[in-house]
């Protein structure tokens, strides 16, 4: 706990690390745990409270670690359990909490549980996955579609049944209704909590429990957006988020409550995500927080988007605590979605200022502190199965997963002495850590300064939020905590705007980007001002 009864995670800044692409210690071109540990000083100097590490568990890597074949083992590609223990020790010594992914909705088809389940309808794991007989004509039991394209059902000749997979066919869905499955997953949770992890991010948790009646999903309304997957043509009503899932969420929380100061955050995507997030985080006995894809999949950053997203999480006793991310490993980098190339440096500064001003927890994705744009990856170098399947209609995920550029002139920009698993672009090399480290005007320096401001000002970390202006490209809101009040103002557009609060004389600017001032906001200008005593 910090500040008396306030837990450390409330209002925390959390840095996401995609371990394949952070730092490689052995020259094989893939990042690993020892490389991550060796670079934790960089993360600590940012001033974040915690790191979240994407999966490093044993896996065939069909979905780069989100297809787990052994929940209790580190994949040799990333190191060993001893390497993970060393990582925990170093992170804690630097004052960083450690959050890991738990993938509770599906496993790899190479997991021993699935191997047993597919071989015997009467064995001990027979009902650990979602199996169903075909319809009379041999077709799948429902119309459910996979996130990655095509039916969410695959025929298995061993059992002469279909199995459900909301993602790749190599990622069969666990049967979250089965008490034995729940018990096994909770045991895995205890395993990592015992090793000292401080929190869990629950990956795609809303896919952990389906409708046992296997009813067809209804069609989704046409929003006039390009739909690249059959999945986009349905409302995902029955293939996920069965009402009983809340009971399992409460069990997860009960386990983490057995360990002091632990944190749980759910990833919840899809068209029904807001309702699901609020059910999963309803106080007092459910998850601590949740985040969705309001910003991650948004094509444009607008005042209306920010206002609507934050308004959905009012400060009320029965509403949970939100988390926010502009970029992550599953979405094209925000600066490339929200600004044209010529404006991206300025936009990155504004995005950083806005993110640290939001009520809730904030997630920074590795490279965001450098202002990295989405990397352009040629088709013949793509690795992401979703990007390959949907080429060229989506940017895919590879362009957000390219290795961290540490030193511009070093081989592999300091990420690896071998050939990196994804290419590192010249645009990223020019923004390498060593190029920004000693530059007080760099995105890296600004990120450190802004995170320090959020840490030092309870109004930013914990305060109430009230929108005071949402006109055209201008967004303004106040953050208040105790006797302190801060005014946060942003010009989200590419043209300068003359704007000033009615009581401009009552405020003193304490931080500004891109030349912003009370009375005049340049393109992508933003500021934070403090009310004078």
2 and 461 Cβ atoms separated by less than 8 Å: no
412 and 420 Cβ atoms separated by less than 8 Å: yes
Give the dihedral of Cα atoms 434, 438, 444, 450; nearest 10 deg: 160
Task: List own/partner pairs for 385-390 with CB under 8 A and 24 or more apart.
Answer: 385/62, 385/63, 385/148, 385/168, 386/147, 386/148, 386/149, 389/148, 389/149, 390/149, 390/228, 390/229
Distances in Å between the Cα of 3 and the Cα atoms of 11, 362, 455, 461 are 12, 19, 12, 12
129 and 174 Cβ atoms separated by less than 8 Å: yes
The CB density around residue 339, as the number of other CB atoms within 10 Å, is: 23
Distances in Å between the Cα of 505 and the Cα atoms of 389, 412, 489, 508, 509 are 56, 52, 15, 8, 11
Helix (H) or strand (E) holding 512: strand 507-513
Q: Assign 3-class secondary structure to 103-163.
A: ECCECCCCCHHHHHHHHCCCCCCCCCECEECCCCCCCCCCCCECCCCCECEEEECCCCEEE
407 and 42 Cβ atoms separated by less than 8 Å: no
333 and 373 Cβ atoms separated by less than 8 Å: yes
Sign of CA dihedral 81, 85, 91, 94: negative
21 and 169 Cβ atoms separated by less than 8 Å: no
Rounded CA-CA distance 193/198 in Å is 7
DSSP label of 207: G
Catalytic residues: 203, 267
């Amino acid at each position: 706990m910090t500040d008396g009864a306030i837990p450390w995670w409330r209002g925390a800044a959390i840095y996401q690390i995609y371990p394949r692409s952070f730092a490689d210690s052995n020259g094989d071109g893939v990042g690993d745990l020892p490389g991550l540990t060796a670079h934790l000083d960089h993360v600590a100097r940012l001033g974040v409270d915690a790191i979240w590490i994407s999966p490093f568990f044993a896996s065939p890597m069909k979905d780069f670690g989100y297809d787990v074949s052994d929940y209790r083992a580190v994949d040799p590609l990333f190191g060993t359990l001893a390497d993970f223990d060393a990582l925990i020790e170093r992170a804690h010594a630097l004052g960083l909490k450690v959050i890991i992914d738990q993938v509770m909705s599906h496993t790899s088809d190479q997991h021993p549980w699935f191997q047993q389940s597919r071989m015997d309808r009467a064995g001990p794991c027979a009902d650990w996955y979602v199996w169903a007989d075909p319809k009379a004509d041999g077709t799948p039991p429902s119309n459910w579609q996979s996130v990655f394209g095509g039916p969410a059902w695959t025929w298995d000749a061993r059992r002469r049944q279909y199995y459900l997979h909301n993602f790749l066919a190599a990622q069969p869905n666990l049967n979250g209704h089965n008490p034995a499955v729940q018990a096994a997953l909770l045991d895995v949770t205890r395993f990592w909590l015992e090793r000292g992890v401080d929190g869990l991010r629950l990956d795609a948790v809303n896919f952990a429990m389906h409708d046992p009646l296997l009813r067809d999903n209804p069609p989704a309304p046409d929003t006039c957006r390009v739909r690249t997957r059959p999945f986009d043509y349905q409302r995902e009503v029955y293939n996920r988020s069965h009402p009983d899932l809340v009971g399992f969420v409460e069990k997860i929380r009960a386990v983490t409550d057995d360990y002091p100061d632990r944190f749980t955050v759910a990833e919840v995507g899809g068209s029904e995500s807001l309702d699901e997030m609020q059910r999963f985080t309803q106080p007092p006995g459910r998850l601590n927080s949740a985040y969705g894809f309001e910003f991650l999949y948004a094509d444009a950053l607008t005042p209306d988007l920010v206002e609507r997203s934050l308004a959905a999480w009012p400060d009320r006793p029965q509403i949970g605590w939100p988390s926010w991310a502009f970029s992550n490993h599953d979405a094209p980098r925000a600066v490339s979605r929200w600004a044209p190339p010529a404006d991206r440096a300025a936009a990155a500064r504004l995005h950083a200022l806005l993110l640290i001003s939001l009520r809730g927890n904030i997630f920074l994705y590795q490279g965001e502190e450098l202002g990295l744009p989405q990397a352009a990856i040629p088709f013949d170098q793509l690795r992401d199965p979703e990007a390959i399947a949907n080429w060229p209609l989506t940017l895919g995920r590879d362009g957000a997963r390219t290795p961290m550029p540490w030193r511009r002139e070093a081989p592999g920009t300091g990420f690896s002495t071998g050939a990196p698993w994804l290419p590192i672009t010249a645009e990223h090399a020019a923004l390498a850590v060593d190029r920004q480290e000693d530059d007080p005007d760099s995105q890296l320096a600004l990120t450190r300064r802004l995170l320090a401001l959020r840490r030092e000002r309870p109004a930013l970390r914990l305060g109430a939020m009230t929108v005071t202006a949402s006109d055209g490209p201008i967004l303004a809101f106040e953050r208040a905590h105790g006797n302190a009040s801060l005014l946060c103002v942003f010009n989200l557009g590419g043209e300068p705007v003359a704007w000033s609060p009615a009581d401009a004389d009552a405020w003193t600017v304490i931080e500004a980007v891109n030349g912003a001032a009370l009375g005049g906001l340049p393109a992508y200008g933003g500021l934070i001002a403090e009310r004078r005593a």
